[in-house]
Amino acid sequence: MVERSLPHLTRIVGCFCITLITSAGFAAERSPFYQGKTLNFIINFAAGGPTDIESRIFARHLSRDISGNPPITIQNMGGGGGLTAVNYLGEVAKSDGYTAAYFTGALFQQQIKILRSA
C-alpha cells in the first residue's frame, strides 16, 4: 500500500512545485497595486493641530514604504471630536484601497470611557 501511494504523492508534490514556480513568475510581471495611483489620507482633526502635524510627517515617509510609491494627498476632516472622519471612512469612502486614515488615540480613549461607563 505504501508503494502505491508514493508515486501519487510524488505527482502531487511535483504539481505543487510547478504551480509555485509559474505563479511566482506571473507575480513578478504584475505591476504594484499603487503604481500610478494616488492614496487619499484622511486626518480626523482640522489642519494645524498636533494630529495634523503627526499625520503629515507620517504620510511624508509612508509613500516610500508602499510598493508603487504612490503620491499621498492629505484631507483634514475636523468636527465631532474626530468622529466626522471616522463616519466618513466607514460610510462614504469607497473600499477600493485608495483611502487611508490617521486617527489619534484620544478619539478611541473617549470611546472606551463611554463604553466603560455604560
Report CA dihedral (103, 107, 108, 111) to the nearest 10 degrees: -150
Q: Same structural domain for residues 60 and 21? A: no
Task: Please give the radius of gyration of the chain, using alpha carbons only, rounded to the nearest integer.
Answer: 23
The whole-number pLDDT of residue 105 equals 67
Q: How does 51-75 read in b/e, with b if 16+ C-beta sit within 10 Å?
A: bbeebbeebeebeeeeeeebebeee
The whole-number pLDDT of residue 114 equals 76
Q: Same structural domain for residues 25 and 43? A: no
Q: Same structural domain for residues 73 and 106? A: yes
Q: Same structural domain for residues 16 and 45? A: no
Q: Same structural domain for residues 20 and 58? A: no
Percent of the chain with pLDDT over 70: 69
Expressed as residue numbers, the domain containing 82 is: 39-117
> Number of folded domains in the chain?
2
For residue 1, what is its C-alpha cell?
500500500
The band of 107, judged by pLDDT with boundaries at 50, 70 and 90, is low
List, in sequence order, every beta strand (DSSP E) within the chain.
39-43, 72-76, 99-102
26-77 confidence digits (pLDDT tens): 445 678 899 999 999 999 899 999 889 999 999 999 988 999 999 999 999 9
**CATH number of the domain that residue 94 is part of:** 3.40.190.150
Query: Per-residue pLDDT averaged across 8-19, rounded?
Result: 48
